[in-house]
Amino acid sequence: MINDKLSSWNDGPVKRSIIDFLESTVEEGPNFVKPADRIATFDNDGTMWVEKPAPANIYFVIHNFLKAATEDPSLGKKQPYKAIIEKDMNFMQLIVEQDHDALMSVKEALAYAWGGITPDEFEEEVKEFIATNKQEKFDICYTDLVYKPMIELFNLLKEFEYRIFVCSGDERDFMRAFAEKTFGIFKENVIGTALQFEYKNGELKRMNKVLGGISLGPGKVEHIFAQTGRLPVFAAGNSDGDIEMLNCARFKLLLNHDDAEREYFYDEGAEKALGTANDEGYTVVSIKNDWKEIF
């Protein structure tokens, strides 16, 4: 019975509509999708795992900046290290407002931290961060905060011969470091904001240059098409940065974080998506009502 695949989902119209849709795409009829076209894309932060109080990728960057400032105390007198050490929210606000000097200081710090290292070295750093840092509310590793219902949905999609891609504004290679173990998909199925590499003297190195823009909003669609040559049949997201990706897909799943007790309750950054969900034909998943278990 196909229902059993989504055992962490409560029975109801949402679960039913997912199964009905997928079944209709593999059966002869007007909804049939030929196997080659069966692509499903999932946002990462807030769709695959907890993104509050901030996405793990952000903590990884902060963690690394603090480490650098410990190793070289003179950095602590400079931005953005100083602001992080002093928890200076005014500086954080400058970044949000895209103030030029603030952004440049972050860019320089990123280059200092990860420019010129090999992908293997970077992957080791991510793995160490994941292994040694805990999310503040749940006090467990970030990768233990992956939503079980989404992994079940992955398995159901695979059953129907869908190829699954996780696509996020996060750095692609940050996600690739844990995606295979955590999501059960290969590295090539992870799409995200990416740095350019340089291959020289028999060695690959990370360059301090973002290639192809940030994978958010319209950029998400561009990145998905570049990686796969297709647009998704099935897409899942949870924020306004996912709207363009959702609107490209036939089945548009929007996760609503409405469970303060078991996860978080918020709609910041998702106001537009939630507000237009009806008009756009999004299937809204209420974490509180539609998920029996979360982790």
Q: Which stretch binds a copy of itself (CB under 8 A): 1-9, 95-103, 127-135, 225-233?
A: 225-233
Beta carbons within 10 angstroms of residue 49's beta carbon: 20
184 binds a copy of itself, rule: CB under 8 A: no
CB 293 within 8 A of CB 148: yes
Which C-beta is closer to a copy of itself: that of 156 or that of 175? 175
Which C-beta is closer to a copy of itself: that of 12 or that of 184? 184
Which residues have C-beta within 8 Å of that of residue 31, sequence separation ≥ 6? Answer: 21, 24, 25
Number of chain residues interacting with a copy of itself (CB under 8 A) = 33
Number of H helices, E strands in the chain: 13, 7
171 binds a copy of itself, rule: CB under 8 A: no
Residue from 195, 243, 236 nearest 217 by CA: 243
State the Cα–Cα distance between residues 46 and 232, nearest whole angstrom. 19
- Residue from 87, 139, 229, 279 in contact with a copy of itself (CB under 8 A): 229
Beta carbons within 10 angstroms of residue 279's beta carbon: 7
Q: Which stretch binds a copy of itself (CB under 8 A): 19-27, 84-92, 199-207, 250-258?
A: 199-207
State the Cα–Cα distance between residues 84 and 134, nearest whole angstrom. 18
110 binds a copy of itself, rule: CB under 8 A: no
Residues shown for the chain? 295
257 binds a copy of itself, rule: CB under 8 A: no
Smallest separation (angstroms) from a copy of itself to the CB of 32 = 17
Residues 118-157 that bind a copy of itself (CB under 8 A): 119
Q: Which residues pair with 199 in a beta bridge?
A: 204
- Residue from 42, 79, 129, 163 in contact with a copy of itself (CB under 8 A): 163
State the Cα–Cα distance between residues 277 and 292, nearest whole angstrom. 23
Residues 45-104 that bind a copy of itself (CB under 8 A): none
CB 211 within 8 A of CB 195: yes
Q: Which stretch binds a copy of itself (CB under 8 A): 55-63, 64-72, 228-236, 287-295?
A: 228-236
Q: 143: which DSSP letter?
A: G
Residue with tokens 């990416």: 194
197 binds a copy of itself, rule: CB under 8 A: yes
190 binds a copy of itself, rule: CB under 8 A: yes
Which C-beta is closer to a copy of itself: that of 30 or that of 229? 229
Q: Which residues pair with 256 in a beta bridge?
A: 286
Residue 277 φ/ψ region, left for φ over 0, alpha for ψ in the -120 to 50 degree band, beta for the rest: alpha
227 binds a copy of itself, rule: CB under 8 A: yes
- Binding pattern for the stretch 23-42 against a copy of itself, x by CB under 8 A and - elsewhere: -------------x------
**Residue numbers of the site for a copy of itself (CB under 8 A)?**
36, 119, 163, 173, 176, 180, 186-188, 190, 194, 196-200, 202, 204, 211-212, 218-219, 221-222, 225-231, 244, 247
